[in-house]
Structures are given as structure tokens and as C-alpha cells.
Amino acid sequence: MFKNKRGKHFSYALVLILLSIYFVMLGFLSENNTITGYVTSSDSETNQQTLPVFEDISSLSALAQGNYYIDTEGTVFWLDDESKPAIARVNFVDDSEKNRKIYIDRDGNIGYLLQ
């Protein structure tokens, strides 16, 4: 008879633990169910409007030291990061400066990288 009570207590405790885990998980999952995820914009015009705008290549000396790439539209990409994010936009880009990699040293000097 004593042994039988121990089994009942254990099963009651096990059921109580499983129910508490279930309710805690339910609470975490339904805490803020209005947020379904994060969305990023893939529209290039929207991204380019938020970028800082520089007049020409020489004004890029204000950027941090590193390797950059300038495309045909004047968007400047940072090459030192694996994702290569667009970080700035240049209003006037000469034909010889399009599709070029540049390097900016810590003093703000700009140089073209040989390809």
C-alpha cells in the first residue's frame, strides 16, 4: 500500500511538471502574436534615398578607412564587409571612375585599386 502511494505521487508530480511546461511554452509563443516577422525592402530606390549623398569622388574622404566600390550609378559599396552594403551615393561620377575599386586611408586620401 505504501509503495502504491509513491507511484501516485510520482505520476501526479510528472503531470504537474508537464502541464507547467506546456503553459509556460504557450505563454512565450502567444506573448505578442501581432508581430509575425521582419521585412526588408528590396527596392533599390528606397535604399538609395536613405544613403548619404556626396558631390564627387574627392568628397568621399570623409568615409572610414577601407576598400570601396563605385558602380555606374554612383552608389558606393563597402568591400571590407562580406555583405557589401551600399553606404553612400555620389552625384557626379566621371566615366573613368565608374565600376572602380577605391581605397581610402586613415588620413582620408583616396586611391584607385589596380584590377
pLDDT tens for 33-66 read 555 555 565 555 544 458 889 998 888 888 888 8
Domain count, the chain: 1
CB atoms within 10 A of CB 43: 8
Residue 84 belongs to some domain of the structure: yes
Q: What does the chain come to in residues?
A: 115
Residue 73 belongs to some domain of the structure: yes
* Domain range enclosing 48: 44-112
Residue 76 belongs to some domain of the structure: yes
Residue 36 belongs to some domain of the structure: no
Residue 87 belongs to some domain of the structure: yes
Q: Is the pTM of this model over 0.75?
A: no
Residue 71 belongs to some domain of the structure: yes
Residue 9 belongs to some domain of the structure: no
Using alpha carbons, select from 70, 53, 52, 51 the residue that is nearest to residue 110.
70
